[in-house]
Structure 1
Amino acid sequence: MYPAFGTEQKKFFELIYSKEFGTKLNTQRAFTLTEMTITLVLLSLLASVLVPRFVLISDSARDALVDGTEAALVGGMKNHRAFWMVSGTPGIGTTSAVNLNVDGIVVRYRNGYPVNTQDSNHVPVGTPNRNAASTRLFHLFLNPLPTPVIPRNSSGTGWVMLANGDCLAVPRRRCWEYRVNGARYARITYSGGTGDFYLD
């Protein structure tokens, strides 16, 4: 009945040809349609709870990024204001601008607040809107920069340097906008006339 095999092989063939083996195979069953449906419903419910939480976490991370950038901008501006003060507060009480050399960057002040730089040499080549005053101040106040900085017409996510007309109506305004997929998420406006920052 069996080929000429050793003891182990004989036991194997006896097991395969036995009725018990066939019975064991037949008793294993697959998932029913009801069980599969219940599993899918439970997974859908779980996803409906977790996805909004993930979105909230993403928004919280963006809020933290914007708040951190605003705080860094304020700190950078205050450092330059302090430099102006220790330089003897030149130009105080006048409407004319005063240029001071700050670590090799010529910064233009009005009443002690930085409003621009003489050139954009401190801004990396290839930066979008490199020559704009808002770009110059962004790079002056922040080190390191939040990334990425994207062009104005981009549909990406990152910081955009805006023109004066895109900012809140405050004196000597410069502003920066954080966009998500091309849509404004938050905007930070700096008033070079008062040294105040506005977040909207």
Structure 2
Amino acid sequence: MGTRHSTEPLQSKIWQLDQDQSSPQGFLYSCNLCDETLVLSKPFINPRKIQLAFSNICPGCGFELDKTLKVLKSTLPPGRQFLTNPVCKDPEQLIEPDESFEAKLSRGSTLLRDVRSDLPSGIELLDQILVLRFGQLVTLQGQASNALSHLLSVRAVYPPPPGLDSDVVFVDGGNVFDAYTVSRHAFSLGLDEERTKLRIHL
């Protein structure tokens, strides 16, 4: 696909386009308010790219494209694969391939078993399943998550190893923080109960 096709001007209104059904099919990007044509392309283009190429402003009516942009299947002129409105200053950016991104989530049961947790709970079976590493965002659900969050908070205050000797920020959106549970865990680890509670910030 050459530059000649990408810079070739496109008729300004939808009704001016020749809809020859025998021609190849493509995608027409236009303004829903004024029928201003923006891009006619054989491959599908992410509408967000169209908005960016036109600074999110329709050249015909001046309205924001995030509210007025529409995409329809349309025919292409013979021998053409990509046409743009003359207002588009950099049409080449529209036909550059997107970098693919694939988000990957790992369940606790699939984490590496030879990795040791940076913050062990002290419960051997749990530490084999839940390997907590620095920089991870971990979500715990269920009734046991409340008790576990208290335990891990106290373990984080505990001197290394196996603790972190760190202050803790406990985000208590559900109003479930229990100072007595913290005191009980601190006592079992031989920590000063009051100092431990002072290092856990609500």
Give the TM-score category using the shorter length. Answer: under 0.3
TM-score for the superposition, normalised by structure 2: 0.19
Structure with the largest fraction of helix? 1
Larger Rg: 1
TM-score for the superposition, normalised by structure 1: 0.20
Task: Choose between structure 1 and 2 for higher RCO, CA contacts under 8 A separated by at least 6 residues.
Answer: 2
Structure with the largest fraction of strand? 1
